[in-house]
Each structure stands twice: as structure tokens, then as C-alpha cells.
Amino acid sequence: SPLAAVLSGCLCLHTRCAASSAAVKPGVLRMTRGQTGDRDASREPCPDRIVEDLGGAFGMGAVGGFIWHFVKGARNSPAGYRFSGAMYSARNRAPILGGNFAVWGGTFSSFDCSLQYIRRRDDHWNAIASGFLTGGVLAARGGWKVASRNAVIGGVLLAIIEGVSAVLMRSQTKTPREMALEQMEQTQQMEEYQKRKDAGEVSGMQSWYQYLQASGMAPSVGSSGSSSSTT
């Protein structure tokens, strides 16, 4: 249904924006930026991604479903039985919604990993095509018309979500020029720190703090401010 497609689209946005802390496993070949486009390259590699998205989708659907059906059950229960009615509704309906989310997330990730293996690329087109295929497959029991409509809805929603995530990632990612300038500035600060250290101008806690500034792990107040504070 369109509601299921909207919810699953929110799931895909969540799994792409919140996966930046995923650990990089040793021995796994990571794709370059040219192979991943603007997608987050720190996600779990396939096929581990399928299991991760299954669990994450079920957890998000179960928690969201519990809150939704708890409120709905409380509103539909008679006075004096609102809490018990809310708990009954949430306890019985939340796992069902979590299972629906898990089915969508697992199917989507399976298509995503399959397309990544076939195309040897992990870009936005994989996600858009996976949304299209997932929407059609999960609605196949309703006939080809229903499956076609849900496939189009899934593909369009994923295209919108991937476009928004690409814009956000580009706005948060530094350009090569900015990265090169930052690296040159850190190298210059490290050289100045080494010269002052060899000359005996810094010592103790001041030495440690200026070392952190030069390595970029502490806020820098500028080379002129640092030199004036040491003289």
C-alpha cells in the first residue's frame, strides 16, 4: 500500500543516515568514492548489510508500532481501562508492524546487494531500482496492476530520499581543495611546533596542548596568537 511504501522509504532514509558509525571489517574490500557516488561508504558490506537492515527495520517498526498502537488503544478503550487496553493493543500489534518493516528492509537490502554484485557499483541507482523491485514484489499477490503501482511508488520515493541524502552528504563533505588546504595548514603548524620544541620555547602542558593544536585534535587560535603567547 502507499502507506507501507512511505514507511519503508523512511526506513531507507534512516538506514543510510544512521549507518556512518558502522565498523569496517578487516579484509573487506571497500569501494572508492567513484564507485559509491554520494552514498555512505562506511556501511556494513554485503551480505552482512541484509542482516543489519533486518534487525534495524524490525526494531524501528516494533518501537514505532508500540507507540502508535499504545496511543490508539488508549483512545479506543473505555474509561478506567485505558492503560490495560493500550498495553494489550500495543503488545499484540507492535510485533506485526515490526515484522512488516523487517520484510521490507530485508527484501530491499537483498535487491540492493544483488544489484551491487551485478553492477560492481554501490550508487543511488541501486537503491532506486531496489525500491522499485521491492514495492512490486511485495504487492505481487494483488495482481500486476497493484504490483506496478506499488513498484512505481517505491521507486519514486527512493529517488526522492536518495536525492535528499545526496544533497545532505555533499553539503557535509569537504571538497578536495578544502582537504588539501587543511592538510597544508596542519603540516605548517606541526613544523612550527617542532621548531619551538627544539628551541625549548614550549614545555609541560603547554607543549601537549600545542601538539594537539598542530595535529588538528584541538582548536587552533592561529599561528600568530600561538607564537605571541609563547614569547
d(CA 111, CA 77): 42
- What is the value of pTM for the model shown? 0.58
Is the Cβ–Cβ distance between 109 and 49 less than 8 Å?
yes
CA separation, residue 111 to residues 38, 50, 125, 131, 152 (Å): 19, 10, 12, 8, 16
Would you give per-residue pLDDT tens digits along the chain (231 residues)? 444 444 454 444 444 444 433 333 443 444 444 444 445 556 677 888 888 888 999 999 999 999 999 999 998 888 888 898 999 999 999 999 999 999 999 999 999 999 999 988 888 888 899 999 999 999 888 888 999 999 999 899 989 988 888 888 777 776 677 777 778 887 887 777 777 777 776 665 566 666 666 666 655 544 444 444 444
Quote the pLDDT of residue 64: 92
d(CA 108, CA 157): 13
Would you state the cell numbers that stand for residue 84, as one nine-digit string? 490495560
d(CA 226, CA 202): 11
